[in-house]
Structure 1
Amino acid sequence: MISFVDLQKKITKLYPKVLQAHVEQKSIFPLIVPFDKTFPKELSQWHDLIEPIIAHSREHHQFGYSIAYTQLHMRKHGVQTVIKEISFDNEAQLIGYLNKQEEYASFTSNVAKILQNYPVLKTWMSNNTSSILEYELDWDSLLAVVSYFVSNASPGIFIREIPVPVHTKFIEQHKAVLYELLNEVLPPAAIQQQYSGVSQFELRFGLKIIPARIRIRLLDATFARYYNNGMTDIEAPVDELANLEWPLQKVIVLENKKNFENAEVFLTLPNMESTAVIFGSGKAVSLLSKLKWLAPIPILYWGDIDAEGFEMLHQLRILFPQTASFCMDEETYQAFKEFEVKGSGAKERTLDLLTATEKKLYQQCCTKNMRLEQERIAHPFMLELLRKHINHFNA
């Protein structure tokens, strides 16, 4: 025998079916919730169970369910009239019972509006009725954005330049649902198929993105005066930096996963002849591929002693095989292992471009799930190892 609480849960689960049926213009009524034939040991328990069920039926309320009864023969209690099932004869009964008249009216209005503009979205709506409800106040704006892209495939402007009467953050805040809608509505030729996922929304639908930037500091003031009007600290779009023609002798790459967390190191490295340091925040390695002028220059790389740090070192060596690492060795780890913290749990990968000693430490990072962050390395210790590598380059 089902309780009234469990019955409520079953009835609530009927609502999405009604929404989907409305989109598909299907008739699904009457909707029936069957009851099992189990019976409590005591007759009084049975009466306690059915009393609230009967009290909420159409016999007592304008909106409610009909109850169908049946006869049940029981050894202990004899013949008893029990509930066989409850049913809703039409959507008005169910919607009214759930007290969702206003929400349902908004839903049906939005469905009609969407279908009128884009019949192709019918299947999407059937599979995403919850989204129609979630954005019930936004559909005029969402459809305006969709219409713009339909009329202006790959517009080549920034997202906030789109001439649609919505507030400036609307599209950014609704990328997830717009991503789905545009994939359904736009022809394949209007979509850059090589880009996928909401994180690549702009690239997929032909919008401009904020150019990726790299920060470089020249450690040689004389070099900076001659080649860069004295400026030593430069941050610029990577495409512009790709055109540099600096005759550098060495480049140091500092990589942080977080946003410039180790900026003090970047700003306090000592003067070094014809040397520059590149500062990244978890993405510089992937951007350096555009800096072709790095190809003949000795490169020193410093990242965290963890799985990701060695993976980025490997990635950098794919681009520039001459890259050496510093402060990513057993000596550094042993000196500061008391500051080791838990890593990301990354699984070991095949990194053929690591040296034997680097690979050993990388495997340890993976098996022990450990991380020794750059910020834990004492500044004088780092500078001493850096000088040793620089002297090796100069020898």
Structure 2
Amino acid sequence: MRRRGTDWAVAPPDEPALTILLKPPTEREAMVDQAGAEAWARAWTDPAFVGGLTVEWEERSWRRVGRQRVPVRLVARRPDDVAALAGGRVASEWRLFAARVAEIRGRWGPSEELDATCRRHAREITGWDEDRFLQVLDVAQWLAIHPSDGLRPRQVPVRGVDSKWLGRHRGVLTALTTATTGRPGLGLVDGDPLLRVRCLDSSLCIGGLADLAAPVRQLASLALRPDVVFVFENLETVLAMPQWPGAVVLHGSGYAVDVLEKLPWLARCPIVYWGDLDSHGFAILNRLRSHLDGVTSVLMDEKTLLDHRDLWVIEPRPARGVLDELTSDERAVLARIRAEGDVRLEQERIPWDLALRELRSVSRG
């Protein structure tokens, strides 16, 4: 029911939703307990026992007792019949979801786009209380009628809706608005993501600031002239870096490295990248190299991986795909990581004195 119920609520099946094979007694079993066999067959004729389900019967030709008509299949023709059979929380959740799908269709009319939205967001649609569900529909309807292009979330003039509320419900609101209007999004203006930068040389400080976070477009206007730029995946590593002549360190968290090409001063100096020794660390390195030249990795080699075998953990959702920007040695390490069972060596687990030694060696070129 849980597996197919979402599809049934959106598009009820034309054929029976569920067929359950019964196991009528054999002739031998009937001869051993004739009263029990008769009672079992008779129960399937009782509407109170069968409920709204259909029982299909077949004749059996038994050598000693002749022809007997026995129940062989229990058929639930409607999804609601399956829900009744399942009972409990499964049934109540399915009925609630089906009712809410009907409410959504009642507002906007049926469409493939709305059906897909309901399937994709079934968990949220079912999980809200009634007031929250109706509020989401009301806001989606308002946004469909009043395009909010250029507005910040704080400026949406709907009573009871603030930026936090929009943040929690934005996925469903966007899907509903796109399904009903064809617009690709809500048009709301988000805040620019901030990039963390530390100047490890006081001569490079920006207005006396050595550590700052700012939008990339603002950082792009800086007249920095570093001799080397470190890009680290881990913020603690960024903060632990000591004073370093001519050096700047950036927090390249996750896939934020995609925006680094917008910093023109990065194109004029060597870049040293250090990420976790796992599939995502190499995927980020690959993306960084696709945007910038002169990127060297550090502590992402097979020796480092094997020397710290006791510190490995398993990566829960490894990245897949071909990473064309990796060197042959880096591809070999990634292959070893996958062969060992998608392991991960987080950069924080590597001893700090070893890390600094390797960073100094690489930065000297």
**TM-score band w.r.t. shorter chain:** 0.7 to 0.9
The amino acid that maps onto 1:141 is Q
Q: Secondary structure at the match of 2:252?
A: strand
Partner of 2:211: 233
| Distance in 1 between residues matched to 2:242 and 2:18, nearest whole Å | 79
In the alignment, structure 1 residue 339 sits paired with structure 2 residue 297: no
Q: Distance in 2 between matches of 1:15 and 1:286?
A: 37
> Which of the residues 282, 287, 292 maps onto 1:315?
287
Aligned to 1:75: 63
Cα shift at 1:89: 11
Distance in 2, matches of 1:122 and 1:285, equals 37
Pick one of 144, 155, 159 that aligns with 1:150.
Answer: 144
Contact 1:254 1:278 in 2 (8 A): yes
- Runs (4 or more) in structure 1 with deviation over 6 Å come to 13-19, 31-37, 65-71, 84-109
Q: Confirm whether residue 119 of structure 1 aligns to residue 109 of structure 2.
A: yes
TM-score by length of 1: 0.68
Give 1:165 deviation, angstroms.
3.8
Residue 364 in structure 1 maps to residue 305 in structure 2: no
Q: 2:349 matched to 1:391? A: no
Q: For each residue in 1:291-311, what CA deviation from the matched residue of structure 2 results, as whole angstroms up to 9, or x when unmatched?
A: 122111221221223333233
2:138 counterpart letter in structure 1:
A
What SS is found at the alignment partner of 1:236?
Answer: strand
TM-fit CA distance, 1:378: 1.6
Is structure 2 residue 264 aligned with structure 1 residue 292?
Answer: yes
Q: Shift of residue 278 of structure 1?
A: 0.7
- List gaps (5 residues or longer) in structure 1: 1-8, 192-203
What runs of 5+ residues in structure 2 fail to find an aligned partner? none
Alignment root-mean-square deviation, CA = 4.6
Matched, 1:269 2:241: yes
**Secondary structure of 1:295's match?**
helix
Tell me the residue number matched to 1:53. 44
- Equivalenced residues, count: 349
Indicate the structure (1 or 2) with the bigger Cα radius of gyration. Answer: 1
Larger displacement relative to structure 2 (376-385 or 87-96): 87-96
In structure 2, give the amino acid aligned to 1:254: F
Q: String of CA shifts for 1:114-158, please: whole Å, max 9, x gaps.
A: 455322448845995995766672442232122122122353334
Say if 2:257 and 2:288, in contact at 8 Å, map to a contact too.
Answer: yes
Structure 2 counterpart of 1:42: 29
Distance in 1, matches of 2:303 and 2:228, equals 23
In structure 2, distance between residues paired with 1:348 and 1:48: 61
Larger displacement relative to structure 2 (367-376 or 297-306): 367-376
Summarize deviations over 1:5-30 as a string: whole Å, max 9, x none.
Answer: xxxx9xxx999869856xx9x9x99x
CA distance in 2, matches of 1:297, 1:241: 16
Q: Which moved more, 1:64-73 or 1:133-142?
A: 64-73
Sort the Cα spacing of 1:249 and 1:84 in 2 relative to 1 into closer, same or farther, 3 A: closer
Q: What secondary structure is seen at the aligned counterpart in 2 of 1:46?
A: helix
Identity percentage of aligned residues: 25
Is residue 302 of structure 2 the alignment partner of residue 327 of structure 1?
no
The aligned residue for residue 187 of structure 2 is 206
Aligned equivalents of 1:281 and 1:145: distance in 2?
Answer: 34
* Amino acid in the other structure paired with 2:265: W
TM-score, length-scaled by structure 2: 0.73
Match among 214, 219, 222 for residue 200 of structure 2: 219
One-letter amino acid of the structure 1 residue matched with residue 146 of structure 2: N
The CA deviation string for residues 173-207 of structure 1, in whole angstroms up to 9 with x for no partner, is 444544443232113xx22xxxxxxxxxxxx3322
